[in-house]
Amino acid sequence: MSKIKCQASGFSLLEVLIVIAILSVLAVAGAGFYRSFIKSAEIGLVAKNIISDLKDARAKSMAGENGLKWGVHFINGNEDYYEIFSTPADYSSASTTIDETDYLPGAIYFTSPANLSSSTVIFGKINGTTTATTTIGISSSEEEVKTITITPIGTIY
């Protein structure tokens, strides 16, 4: 009679623990990267929406829609938001009409205008110009800041 040897095959406890430790390290590193990527994508989307709304207000002003100037008023307060409006003169005019109000998502805030202040961009009728260069900053963290600039000739970038 011949003897048949059986060898146990499988993983030892130590090998399983090492694999779990390596996967845990990779998961933690991947989660940090993913969170950073999501914040960057979200702030990029908010910046594109603000630029789109600024361009829309400029187009309405150049077209002379309702015979008024159009602009955007940015408010940096407890809740950061901006308003698209029409006016015969300026934002403080009694005839100013708010067309739309957009709030920034919870994790995103204005860095410019400064905290508890506001900034207004009004585009001139027909030519779409503004009175001065205006800079709007948005951020989701101190590392990630997007800046939107509106020049006196009405260029938005």
Give residue-wise pLDDT tens across range 4-55: 666 767 889 999 999 999 999 999 988 988 888 888 889 999 999 999 999 9
Please check whether the domain covering 13-150 is classified as CATH 3.55.40: yes
Q: Tell me how far the alpha carbon of residue 45 is from its chain's centroid.
A: 5
Whole-number pLDDT of residue 100: 96
Q: Where are the domains of the chain?
A: 13-150
Average predicted confidence (pLDDT) for the chain: 91
User: Containing H/E element for 74?
Assistant: strand 69-76
Determine the average pLDDT of the residues in 57-78: 95
Structure tokens at 6: 């059986």
Per-residue pLDDT at 73 exceeds 90: yes
Amino acid (one-letter) located at 53: D
pTM metric for this prediction: 0.82
Q: What percent of the chain has pLDDT over 70?
A: 94
Share in percent of the chain as helix, strand, coil (round to 5) = 35, 30, 35
Per-residue pLDDT at 70 exceeds 80: yes
Whole-number pLDDT of residue 8: 66
Instruction: Find all residues with CB under 8 Å of 67, minimum gap 6, and list them.
Output: 125
Whole-number pLDDT of residue 35: 84
